[in-house]
Structure 1
């Protein structure tokens, strides 16, 4: 009996050590991937279309003007989808992509539960776009402004719009936000922050080659 307990304790310790090592390797790989530049020759133009990347500490999203650079987002996010259509009067959209159950089940970070995190990290084809109608952001702290040429902005918009899936909208956390079905597979590799890095790379912006963490996006700006 004692030997059985010892073997069980040893096995549990080995599993915990392996998980901690895996997490450490994942963190190291993410930091390295975020430090390797894609589009290394890109420079922000003196004048152009301003977008913002903003972080809540865990999740990064992109804020775009509703009408700029030849792009009109009004058909993408209808006022009819909002709890209160008056919020459609705001002139910007804050857009993020992520796993459906994680989005719907965690309206605040106090609601985050380990099984939800593990399930999302394992992988899911059920993804959503979270779209908020917001005023023009104020730059500072975890809100960074990025200036794009009109052509770069159109590529950014094309990448975001291509992430939209088919199906009805879901009401969001408040009266000014909404969820839309999305395309793409969410996993520990293709995280919400990696998606932001992808759309920025697609636009031609210099950013990390792989950006799984908020810091790996923000430090470029």
Structure 2
């Protein structure tokens, strides 16, 4: 009986901790940073979400020369999407049908390496959310993305050989996934560091999306 009470106590504390974490995450996502109007926002990047995971899309003509060259884009690749996340999760859940709780648990609570998923698109998609930027913000966003890639001794980005993502490439990335740094906080951090309107911190995709949806 003593052990049952301990298990129940830890279960209750764990549930309360999760609820507190989620509740604070939602509240903080409504706090906006870089909310002052920016001038000369005549260019656009985009946000996309699969319902959980945010990505940044940059038109090819707005990519830095380094990214444009090193990603080996085709002439028909007009838009490039970047998403950051846990390596184990990427490698084991190419679709939501492959989802298992242990992968999500490992992504949040284990010190796992991370990847950048890069995919290209010929046409703009209706579901993308348009984000106005100026030249300075665009430059800083390119730098943020470029500096997230791991490189080898030759300063080359490290691409993985895999066939689960036929329309995407996976690259080794810097940083570890954790409850405080997720795929969505990576996108939000990119916007914050570029002087773009963003959440103070956001766990969920809607924290950033709602700041640009009309």
- Aligned mate of 1:29, from 21, 24, 27: 24
Report Cα offsets for 1:113-164 as digits up to 9, x if no partner. Answer: 1111111111425111000011333344xx3110111211111010000000
Structure 1 residue 98, shift from structure 2 partner: 0.7
Q: TM-score, normalised by structure 2?
A: 0.88
Q: TM-score, normalised by structure 1?
A: 0.85
Consecutive unaligned residues in structure 1, runs of 5 or more: 1-5, 80-85
For residues 43 and 62 of structure 1, do their structure 2 counterparts lie closer, same or farther at Cα, with a shift above 3 Å needed? same
Equivalent positions of 1:190-209 (< 5 A) are 190-209=181-200
Query: Structure 1 residues 130-139 or 154-163, which shifts more?
Result: 130-139
Q: Does 1:74 align with 2:68?
A: yes
CA contact (8 A) 1:172 1:179 kept: no
Equivalent positions of 1:162-181 (< 5 A) are 162-167=147-152, 168-170=158-160, 171=162, 173-181=164-172
Q: Does 1:99 align with 2:75?
A: no
Q: Does 1:157 align with 2:113?
A: no
CA contact (8 A) 2:149 2:173 kept: yes
Q: Does 1:182 align with 2:173?
A: yes
CA contact (8 A) 1:99 1:124 kept: no
What is the rounded CA distance, in whole Å, between the counterparts of 1:125 and 1:8 in structure 2? 32
- Residue in 2 aligned with 1:3? none
Consecutive unaligned residues in structure 2, runs of 5 or more: 153-157
CA contact (8 A) 1:43 1:206 kept: no
Report Cα offsets for 1:78-132 as digits up to 9, x if no partner. Answer: 25xxxxxx6x622111100111101111101121211111111114251110000
CA contact (8 A) 1:164 1:183 kept: yes
**Equivalent position SS for 1:74:** helix
- Residue in 1 aligned with 2:109? 122
Give me the CA root mean square deviation: 1.9
Larger Cα Rg: Structure 1 or Structure 2? 1
